[in-house]
A = this chain, B = another copy of it.
Amino acid sequence: MKRFKAIIQYDGTDFVGYQIQPNGRTVQEEIEKALQRMHKGTPIKIVGSGRTDTGVHAKGQVIHFDSPLLIPPDKYRKALQTYTPYDISFVSVEEVVSDFHARFGTTGKEYRYFVNRSPVFDPFARRFALHYPFALDIAKMREAADVLTGEHDFTSFCAAGSGREDKVRTIYAIDIIEDGDTLTFSFKGNGFLYNMVRILVGTLLDVGNRRLSIAQVKENLEAQDRTKGAKTASPQGLFLWEVYYD
């Protein structure tokens, strides 16, 4: 048995998320079906670095699995590509040490969120960006991003009812990049709570649109109360961009 690490991409539009669900098509299910075919009917389980929600995309999701097949890694990649549908792709497959773990071994992640600011709705961007044609004070948004960066209890910035786990996370950096009509948010951190990135984006857009002041963002953060937070930005702009390991 060998352990393999794979970097995968997916267009999340037609999935109910990464993780297998009783109803609806998932990324995990499609990849496990492909592996089962490659292993002549033997089920092979995969472990992902974490879940992504319905409609959320991945540019650099990481998975691991164990396989007895003696195939060179790049051939393995091509075979998996052949067996999976067009909205999933395998960027790389490599053999790793037997205790590599896609979920428990992560040291951090980057998420990116794309916003299309074109005054005219862009039918080609709609699957991969939020359309937001309103005025934004980018300098104010960067100020708010500074408030949110660092180690905090992010209870106000995660979906209500997401369990009793510890809500302290560290955001290493929030970058806001302007390029023509495209505004990109990059979030790097040691971990992210359920819906956290989308709520952070909702917050920063509210600041940019002057519905929320910097002082209110500080208050919301300190309140540790989800009812104080901003709206959850819609999923189609969100990409799991990169997963870090030691």
Contacts and interface: CB of A to CB of B under 8 A. Distances in A.
Interface residues of A, number: 19
B123 A87 contact: yes
Contact of A88 (B91, B123, B128): B123
Contacts of A90: 120
Interface in A76-106: 81, 86-91
Q: How many copies does the complex hold?
A: 2
A210 interface: no
A211 B91 CA distance: 29
A86 B123 contact: yes
A245 interface: no
Contacts of A127: 127
A81 B121 contact: yes
A9 B89 contact: no
Interface in A97-147: 120-124, 126-128
Nearest to A239: B124
24 contacts: A9-B122, A9-B123, A9-B124, A10-B123, A11-B123, A11-B124, A11-B126, A57-B124, A81-B120, A81-B121, A86-B121, A86-B123, A86-B126, A87-B123, A87-B126, A88-B123, A89-B120, A89-B121, A89-B122, A89-B123, A90-B120, A91-B120, A124-B128, A127-B127
